[in-house]
């Protein structure tokens, strides 16, 4: 009986003991054993120990401009309502009625004055307070039955939630670390102009492993490689690109802007951000390097560079002088991950006048389609009886570091809500 069947045919306590044993026997600098990419028991445990304590990117706040605007986000067994309150503040609540537990909001998005449970009509205001509950006893304390709150934070217009009820103070540090790079882009004054869902039939960790390395870029992404000179420079070495990067760093320093790479190893949420030039003659990340939209934020001219960040395991951002692209990974099952990509431009930009949507989305659309295929094929190979753990290359250090962090978090006790 293989490790997968052994775990899923045992009691929960015994299975978790087996998981701890699997964690201890993992080889450093190598991919995970098959069971980590397929087991439903491990999938449930990673939500508790790895993902729930994280700050998870949901959407851009421009999607919730008016009081009463709401959207729902599902991850694992949780459904979260994010709503713009009557005071214009964003709040988040667990989508669970305080009566008998029904989901109260069944729509993906919309606008409402109150949330009314479709089961027994308990009603809640935009601040989560219980407004009415029919036929309850005289001693029923209405004020004690508001919606359970979910932590929500906004970083330059990017909305994050955390399923932890308290003790997750790392967002202040994340904001401090990333803001110097993000501030020039003026992301608070942008809007989402296109969103695409790429269903990926693979374990979420395979998607993350792929995203953390560019070892695969030359064979798998000819378009991305042609646009991004750092890929060829990393493969073959390039004094010209190195000289361009040094000149860019000096120009950025003179303007008081950040460049280079910084990694921040926070325990619950390691994150990284970098800013580097694209290639000579390219203003932005488009097929030919020509502008994709109006300049963002404080930029008065193109500097031909990209700011990129992974903001934890499931949240990614790529921003140039004239547009930004966000990536949100949501695990749906052990072998299904929802990848949502959103494109943002300046809030006053008009399609067909200031930007062409096909031109804007070309690079990350073609690249994500290719990524989806190679990740799907990766899962198919991992499912084979002949799959075995393999060593990472020197160009996959970030991926190896992610796996080491993942195993460390998985070995820890589950967080308490």
Domain residue spans in the chain? 56-155, 169-410
To the nearest whole number, what is the mean pLDDT of the chain?
93
Reference 173, options 51, 109, 268, 74; nearest CA is 268
Assign residue 289 a region: left if phi > 0, alpha if psi is -120 to 50, beta otherwise? left
Q: List pLDDT tens digits, range 296-339.
A: 999 999 999 999 999 999 999 999 999 999 999 999 999 999 99
* pLDDT given for residue 365 in this prediction: 98
pTM over 0.95? The answer is no
The two most distant CA atoms of the chain are separated, in Å, by 79
Assigned CATH class of 56-155: mainly beta
111 beta partners:
69
The residue among 1 and 237 whose pLDDT is bigger is 237
Specify the fold of 169-410. Answer: Naphthalene 1,2-dioxygenase Alpha Subunit; Chain A, domain 1 (3.90.380)
> Mean per-residue pLDDT for 259-286?
94
Interatomic CA distance for residues 110 and 112, integer angstroms? 7
Three-state DSSP string of 29-42: CECCCHHHHCCHHH
The residue among 131 and 242 whose pLDDT is bigger is 131
Q: List pLDDT tens digits, range 61-113.
A: 999 999 999 999 999 999 999 999 999 999 999 999 999 999 999 999 999 99
* pLDDT given for residue 417 in this prediction: 46
- For residues 82 and 73, the answer to whether their CB atoms sit within 8 Å is yes
Q: Is the pLDDT of residue 40 over 70?
A: yes
* pLDDT given for residue 415 in this prediction: 52
The DSSP secondary structure of 356-367, one letter per residue, reads: -HHHHHHHHHHH
Interatomic CA distance for residues 86 and 111, integer angstroms? 12
């Amino acid at each position: 009986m293989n490790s997968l069947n052994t775990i899923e045919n045992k009691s929960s306590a015994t299975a978790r003991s087996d998981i701890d044993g699997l964690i201890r026997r993992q080889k450093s600098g190598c991919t995970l054993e098959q069971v980590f990419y397929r087991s439903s028991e491990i999938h449930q445990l990673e939500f508790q120990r790895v993902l729930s304590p994280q700050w998870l990117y949901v959407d851009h706040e421009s999607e919730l401009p008016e009081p009463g605007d709401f959207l729902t986000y599902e991850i694992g067994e949780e459904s979260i309502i994010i709503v713009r309150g009557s005071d214009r503040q964003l709040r988040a609540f667990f989508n669970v009625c305080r009566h008998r537990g029904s989901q109260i909001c069944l729509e993906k998005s919309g606008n409402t004055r109150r949330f009314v449970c479709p089961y027994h009509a308990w009603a809640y205001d935009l601040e989560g307070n219980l407004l009415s509950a029919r036929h309850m006893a005289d001693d029923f304390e209405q004020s004690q039955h508001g919606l359970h709150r979910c932590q929500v934070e906004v970083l330059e217009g990017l909305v994050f939630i955390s399923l932890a009820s308290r003790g997750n103070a790392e967002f202040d540090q994340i904001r401090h670390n990333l803001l110097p790079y993000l501030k020039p882009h003026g992301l608070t004054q942008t809007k989402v102009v296109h969103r695409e869902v790429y269903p990926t039939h693979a374990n979420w960790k395979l998607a993350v492993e792929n995203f953390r390395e560019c070892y695969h870029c030359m064979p798998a992404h000819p378009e991305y490689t042609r646009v991004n000179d750092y890929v060829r420079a990393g493969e073959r070495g390039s004094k010209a690109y190195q000289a361009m990067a040094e000149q860019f760093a000096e120009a950025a320093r003179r303007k008081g802007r950040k460049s280079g790479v910084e990694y921040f190893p926070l325990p619950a949420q390691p994150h990284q951000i970098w800013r580097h030039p694209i290639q000579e003659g390219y203003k932005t990340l488009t097929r030919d390097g020509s502008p994709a939209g109006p300049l963002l934020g404080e930029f008065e001219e193109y500097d031909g560079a990209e700011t990129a960040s992974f903001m934890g395991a499931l949240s990614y951002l790529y921003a140039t002088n004239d547009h930004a692209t966000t990536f949100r990974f949501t695990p749906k099952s052990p072998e299904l991950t929802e990848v949502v990509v959103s494109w943002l431009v300046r809030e006053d930009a008009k399609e067909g006048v200031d930007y062409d949507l096909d031109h804007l989305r070309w690079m990350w659309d073609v690249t994500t389609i290719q990524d989806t295929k190679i990740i799907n094929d990766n899962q198919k190979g991992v499912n084979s009886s002949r799959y075995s753990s393999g060593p990472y290359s020197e160009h996959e250090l970030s991926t190896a570091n992610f796996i080491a962090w993942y195993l460390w978090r998985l070995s820890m006790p589950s967080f308490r809500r």
